[in-house]
Amino acid sequence: MIYDFIVKGRKDTEVKVSDYKGKVIIVVNTATGCGFTPQYEALEELYKKYHTKGLEILDFPCNQFGHQAPGDDEEIHEFCTAKYKTTFDQLKKIDVNGENSDPFWKYIKENSQEEYIHGMKNKLAMKGIEKMSTTCKNEKDIKWNFTKFLIDREGNIVGRYSPIESSLVMEDKIKEII
């Protein structure tokens, strides 16, 4: 179960996923130097709109895709708060694919359905992005930065969203489960 995991906080603290039991959670792998980095704006918009109703964001910086998350955890946090005014916290930078993949990410990848990708143009773009990824070896692997997972209050993964999709595409589902 998703609540069985402990992940690392930005300051090397232990963060129990069970502390988020009863919350709606967006889990996302991020990067500060990616073409998708402006998605922080939509994530923050959702967080501000629904946090008081029970939405949390678990933001995991990841440097596996084009080395687009340079810097240490504090530098990444400072960048996000200064440029995108994020108020949700980032966790420790991790690997989401490969032999050093974080166990939490292994679990959510294996227990999620196919990614939501809207429209043929986006599907073709994702095929190109997938070819650029040197760490995407298996069907369920993360293809690029800003892959998003939506988890309901019971810990069920109810959506996997492509990096090419804005976080706002999740809003209707969030309203439904919040």
DSSP SS3 for 60: strand
3-state secondary structure of 127: helix
Are 85 and 132 spatial neighbours (Cβ–Cβ below 8 Å)?
Answer: no
Q: Is 66 left (phi over 0), alpha (psi -120 to 50) or beta?
A: left
Classify burial at 138, counting beta carbons within 10 Å of its beta carbon; exposed 0-12, middle 13-18, buried 19 or more: exposed
Q: Does the annotation mark 80 as catalytic?
A: no
Residues that are catalytic: 34
